[in-house]
Amino acid sequence: MKTRKLANLNVSAIGLGCMGISQSYGQPMETGAAVKFLRAAVDRGITFFDTAEAYGPYSNEEVLGEALHPVRDKVVIATKFGIRIDQSGGKSGTDSRPAHIRAVAEASLRRLKTECIDLFYQHRIDPAVPIEDVAGTVKDLIAEGKVKQFGLSEAGVENIRRAHAVQPVAVLQSEYSLWWREPEQTVLPVVEELGIGFVPFAPLGRGFLTGTITPDTVLDANDFRNTVPRFDAEARLANKAIIDVIAGIAAGKNATVAQIAIAWLLAQKPWIVPIPGTTKLHRLDENIAAAEIQLNASDLSKIETALSAITVRGERYAAKQSTWINR
């Protein structure tokens, strides 16, 4: 596996988004199967794993702790704070009060079975807490040896700059893919200016950019995409135009649609590390192989020209979820 740099973190060129192991895309994996899967990812060269206390909640960190503890010195683990979780496990907004950040850090360290969190993201901007207080708290945790690097997720330009002035932001994580390119106009120029790494989540469009989801595909009853406007039947049909573009490039590269979608992200900047998520070993192998695909200037130009004529249909979040996207 090729490697890339995210600030001072050396990681595999493709990471693994672990949320789907525990929630959102149907039934959670059984713990034993999840541990086996995560260790297989390490064996294949994946060294960058993305989790959060909110995934599960809590269970995702626990399974990563069990799976990765024996190889802790070989992997980089990113986790997150800042989502309010009630006693029933429900998620009801943001909470980045300094005391809460500290409590989350201590609990995450225990669940992950580690002495230090490699990358600690604020999961979402908390409008009730100044970003300077958030950055200052993480700065203290870094000084105490409990955290190595500070990250932000789905933050806008102003908050990135204000946080970075207090504690250097190592990584920004935001959604970015062939069907969500808003970061190109907003945050990517700023993170390049400041030397911040960038981690695209949902690089395969929550599965749509694999080309396997059609208007007739029936998702699991527990799959959150059932509530996402971009995944209603009419939107799926309209957005197939994106798949047709990628499929044409894929055919010429002896690659899959998913591999071209990942390779496109890797071709944008050398400090971009996508984290496609999967629970299937053959899909993991498929994603890893994307790191070997080279898209030349002609390929990228063809994709750009074709996509410029396509309007993606449907919002990326349901209205109640989008309130957490504070820019």
Residues marked as catalytic: 55
Residues 54, 190, 257, 211: what is their CA dihedral angle, to the nearest 10 degrees?
A: 50
Q: Under DSSP, is residue 296 helix (H, G, I), strand (E, B) or coil?
A: coil
57 touches 89 (CB < 8 A)? yes
How many CB atoms are closer than 10 A to CB 249? 23
C-alpha angle 150/44/73, rounded to 5°? Answer: 45
Q: For residues 208 and 179, is the Cβ–Cβ distance under 8 A? A: yes
- CA separation (Å) from 57 to 21, 53, 54, 269? 11, 6, 4, 33
